[in-house]
Amino acid sequence: MRKILITVFALFATAAHAGPKIEHWVAPSGARVYFVETRVLPILDLSVDFAAGTVFGPADKTGVAGLTRALLDAGAGNLDEERISAKLVDIGARMSGSADADRAGMSLRTLSSKPERDAALELLRAVLSAPTFPESVLTREKARTIASIREADTRPDSIAAKRFAAAIYPNHAYGASATVESVERIGRDDLVAFHRDNYAARRAVVSIIGDVSRAEAEAIAQRLTEALPAGKPDVVIPPIAKPVRAAVKIAHPASQSHIHIGAPAIARTDPDYYALLLGNYVLGGGGFVSRLMQEVREKRGYAYSVYSYFAPRKLEGPFEIGLQTKREQAGEAIKVVEDVLAKFLVEGPTAKELAAAKKNLVDGLALRIDSNAKILGYLSAIGFYGLPLTYLDDFPAKINAVTTANVKAAFARHVKQENLVTVIVAAD
Amino acid sequence: MTQPISALALIAAIVAVSPAPTFANPFETRLANGLRVIVKEDRRAPSAVHMVWYRAGAMDEKDGTSGVAHVLEHMMFKGTKKHVSGEFNKIVAEAGGRDNAFTSLDYTAYFQIVPNRALPRMMELEADRMSNLRLTAKEFEQEIKVVMEERRMRTEDNPQSLVHEALYAAAFKAHPYRRPIIGWMDDLEHMSYTDARDWYRAWYTPGNAYVVVVGDVDHQAVFDLAAKTYGRIKSHALPERKPRNEPAQAGIKRVTVKAPARLPYLTMAWKVPRLNDVDTDREPYALEVLATVLDGHDAARFSKNLVRGQKIAQSAGAGYDGTLRGEALFLFDGQPAEGKTVAELEAALRAELKRVQDEGVSPEELARVKTQTIASQVYKRDSMMAQAMEIGGLEAAGHKWRDIDKLLEKIRGVTAEEVQAVARKYFNDDTLTVAVLEPLPLDQAKPKKSAVATRH
């Protein structure tokens, strides 16, 4: 009872700051650690992310980053995959993984009571440091991956997503997707090598939030990363070449055309981030109130879903507009989208739109950090992309400082008509 | 090898550290017009989830106007006497919040997630559209096109959705669960704004609704606000709800769907009981435990034996939801691994079922179910929306939020014998429906042209 009251008061006392108190240090292993202590719930969330995304794999074996990540818990130390999953289930812990172009890693949610917590952390330590990549599991998972690639290659949405990435990132790992052939070429040695080279402590960010003290968090971070491989020297990811404006049409029997329009646009640490975030809210990021939603859906009934987004990465991540519409009206719908974008690039948002966007992004920040799971995502991004520890605290001021001129200038720098690629699947 | 920690030790650990509120949280009141308001105070962050649930969903529709519950959900954003179309979304967005709505077989629900100081405004807006919706032919004509695009996206071009639609349509012939929530395309093409208006007038009334608020709020303040906003609306009588019970099925049903795809897809559905009485029922809890043993976690039997062990399945799942207004199904689904057939997968799924029928489940498996249940409840407290959904979902099925803890107790009390008994009793072919996706090579499928519009 007393514990609750103290926590509640503590929350109110810190309410003047936008974000939670983030502690940061470098573990003796070399891993960077980001930590928020919060004792309200008896849980612990953590993630360990590595610079081990698809860009770090060999070009002719696309899929090696994903398979390495997926097989981390397929055997570790003296445990096989069945023992690992059974042990996790027996203590009520959840382990999951993710891999994208830049990073790959594992996250863990466990009860914070000591026996469960310790057991869960030992499992995570084992899968990160001592994966065994059994040949038999690799054979099975390669077969499953190939089956799902073949299945995905019949689906208009995945065909569109893959072709769009390939078209805006020609000859770059950011545009590559695993194929049947690239997966068939992958052997156990490739996984062992990819893990040895990339799952190193100095390439790792450990994010921790929950019911542990700073001292406990320090011990946890070190224990999780002390036995990781040494890794290889950093490789430089080749720069992005902007594509030339083009339209790609792909036949498919679907009733709707799947349309993507975009180009490589922005790196996560680019100072234009805030101006683009605000501008995109007005253009197509702000749900029902965005211009694209108004013109395409609300006024014309052309689509259920129409959106735009920037997905910043280490290097220039994509800007993309997407929609699906009845194939007979795809041409008209694309025309509307192009008109909305062209007008926005020339005029930028109105003063009223900009003010509304600021209100949503600033006042909505509290909702984006109202759970441990959500804050964990920010810790990981702050650590991986090297954002300031005060990122969440600074967010309102950074957003409020943006002007219409800033938005227009930022779009002019990052979204150029001459680079926009249009991909249409199920085109007539 | 360490000993698995017993569920009992876990419970003790949680009780010891958990700051579970000891007050009467959640709180509930009933306004004079019949609207119930349920508030769960959660002070971890200055946010609030505000939901309004109407006990009217696709199952309450009639033939010829399938999909109207969902169409009306769309129309609820199209303005009232006070607020023009789209203004609702705009106000929520400017408050820093987000909002949406969803329609199910059993209910239709609307929600906003906002900074807590915006809650009064949300209640005002939601109360306004409970009785003042301005439903015009013009707005309807525009929005029905959006709904048809939604159906194309979710169903027409999604082979697995088509299989599920076929499965329900075959499993039920009298019960309204046979119709898809989004409606048949032909019904959407012939729907008029008066259908939506009639639906609104029939079902949208305080006596058929309840409000759920979870967040950093004072329950008494929320009750007072509810009285000032929702309290002003007069309730009216509801249309008669006919039972429309499904006649007993007497023989297996099999249907096939052909669609562009690579992997076949198999679904199997048996008729099983739903949860009626939280206190005296036993079988629904045993069915839920059975589903968890088969497919509730990474170490469950389907993944372990069919995907990883025998490598016969690309994927395999089992599910049971007994918390609903209509009739319950126990579902299996899966994709055969490359080189395996649907028939082989069906045989393998049936073999797993037979193993439970013959040998039952182990104490270790039962302990895992209990551990999972407890851990899920603790983790759920990290999300206000998950807590609001739990309360709202239980109420939609006609149960009480007060029973949440009791339901968990009941799950924990299920014995191995009870699981084996339901596996033996309910899984015979006479009540089974099987729906299968037969993949059509892409180059053999004709482009799907949309029907020429008959609307004007």
B442 touches chain A (CB under 8 A): yes
CB contact under 8 A, B156 and A256: yes
Which residue, A196, A225, A254, sits at the end of a domain?
A: A225
Q: Nearest CA to A357 among A404, A323, A415? A: A404
Chain A residues with beta carbon closer than 8 angstroms to that of B188: none
Determine, yes or no, domain membership for A268. yes
Determine, yes or no, domain membership for A156. yes
Are residues A62 and A202 located together in one domain of the fold? yes
Predicted pLDDT of residue B1: 32
Predicted pLDDT of residue B333: 98
The tokens for B194 are: 């008066």
Are residues A201 and A308 located together in one domain of the fold? no
Q: Evaluate if residue A46 carries a pLDDT over 80.
A: yes
Predicted pLDDT of residue A17: 58
Determine, yes or no, domain membership for A214. yes
Average pLDDT over residues A165-180: 97
Average pLDDT over residues B143-167: 98
Are residues A194 and A271 located together in one domain of the fold? no
Determine, yes or no, domain membership for A349. yes
H/E element, A65: helix A64-70
CB contact under 8 A, B93 and A153: no
Which residue, A195, A225, A255, sits at the end of a domain?
A: A225
- d(C-alpha A399, C-alpha A395), whole Å: 6
**Residue of B76, B153, B305 to mutate, interface with A, max A Cβ within 10 Å:** B153
Which residues touch A158 (CB under 8 Å, ≥6 apart)? Answer: A152
Grade residue A18 by pLDDT with cuts at 50, 70 and 90: confident
Which residues touch A192 (CB under 8 Å, ≥6 apart)? Answer: A133
Chain B residues with beta carbon closer than 8 angstroms to that of A81: 308
Predicted pLDDT of residue A11: 34
Grade residue B446 by pLDDT with cuts at 50, 70 and 90: confident
Average pLDDT over residues B19-33: 77
Q: Evaluate if residue A5 carries a pLDDT over 90.
A: no
CB contact under 8 A, B14 and A287: no
> Least CA distance to A141: which residue of chain B?
B308
CB contact under 8 A, B263 and A94: no
How deeply is A271 buried, as exposed, middle or buried, from its count of CB atoms within 10 A (0-12, 13-18, 19+)?
A: exposed
CB contact under 8 A, A301 and B145: yes
Mean pLDDT score of chain A: 95
Active-site choice (B73, B352, B390, B418): B73
- Rounded to the nearest angstrom, the minimum Cα separation between A257 and chain B is 10
- Rounded to the nearest angstrom, the minimum Cα separation between A225 and chain B is 23
Are residues A164 and A206 located together in one domain of the fold? yes
- d(C-alpha B118, C-alpha B112), whole Å: 10
* Nearest by CB: A372 against B10, B382, B446: B382
Instruction: Give the type of residue at B119.
Output: L
Chain B residues with beta carbon closer than 8 angstroms to that of A365: 96
Determine, yes or no, domain membership for A2. no
CATH of the domain at A339: 3.30.830.10
Average pLDDT over residues B194-198: 98
- Rounded to the nearest angstrom, the minimum Cα separation between B385 and chain A is 11
Are residues A108 and A39 located together in one domain of the fold? yes
* Nearest by CB: B45 against A154, A327, A366: A366
The residue segments making up the domain with residue A357 are 246-425
* Nearest by CB: B314 against A41, A85, A147: A147
How deeply is B87 buried, as exposed, middle or buried, from its count of CB atoms within 10 A (0-12, 13-18, 19+)?
A: middle
How many cross-chain Cβ pairs, A to B, lie less than 8 Å apart?
Answer: 241
Are residues A255 and A147 located together in one domain of the fold? no
Chain B residues with beta carbon closer than 8 angstroms to that of A301: 141-146, 149
Q: What are A334-392's pLDDT values in tens digits?
A: 999 999 999 999 999 999 999 999 999 999 999 999 999 999 999 999 999 999 999 99
Are residues A60 and A159 located together in one domain of the fold? yes
CB contact under 8 A, B149 and A325: yes
Determine, yes or no, domain membership for A7. no
> Least CA distance to A367: which residue of chain B?
B47
Q: Evaluate if residue B318 carries a pLDDT over 60.
A: yes
Any idea which residue has 């490598």 for tokens? Answer: B311
Residues B221, B223, B229, B231, CA torsion sign: negative
Q: What are B167-188's pLDDT values in tens digits?
A: 999 999 999 999 999 999 999 9
Give the number of domains in chain A. 2
Instruction: Give the type of residue at A327.
Output: R
Are residues A72 and A194 located together in one domain of the fold? yes
CB contact under 8 A, B262 and A150: yes
Q: Nearest CA to A278 among A336, A355, A337? A: A355
Average pLDDT over residues A216-240: 96
Q: What are A105-126's pLDDT values in tens digits?
A: 999 999 999 999 999 999 999 9
Chain B residues with beta carbon closer than 8 angstroms to that of A112: 17
CB contact under 8 A, A82 and B304: yes
Determine, yes or no, domain membership for A234. no
Instruction: Give the type of residue at B285.
Output: Y
B346 is catalytic: no
Q: What are A114-166's pLDDT values in tens digits?
A: 999 999 999 999 999 999 999 999 999 999 999 999 999 999 999 999 999 99
Are residues A70 and A219 located together in one domain of the fold? yes
CB contact under 8 A, A256 and B157: yes
Grade residue A393 by pLDDT with cuts at 50, 70 and 90: very high
- d(C-alpha B168, C-alpha B445), whole Å: 25
Are residues A283 and A218 located together in one domain of the fold? no
Q: Evaluate if residue A425 carries a pLDDT over 90.
A: yes
Are residues A288 and A406 located together in one domain of the fold? yes
B19 touches chain A (CB under 8 A): yes
Average pLDDT over residues A410-418: 98
Q: What is the pTM of this model?
A: 0.94
* Nearest by CB: A363 against B115, B141, B260: B115
**Residue of A7, A11, A81, A90 to mutate, interface with B, max B Cβ within 10 Å:** A90
Are residues A218 and A254 located together in one domain of the fold? no
Predicted pLDDT of residue B451: 58
Helix (H, G, I), strand (E, B) or coil at A313: strand
In chain A, % of residues over pLDDT 90: 94
Average pLDDT over residues B381-406: 96
CB contact under 8 A, A15 and B372: no
Determine, yes or no, domain membership for A329. yes
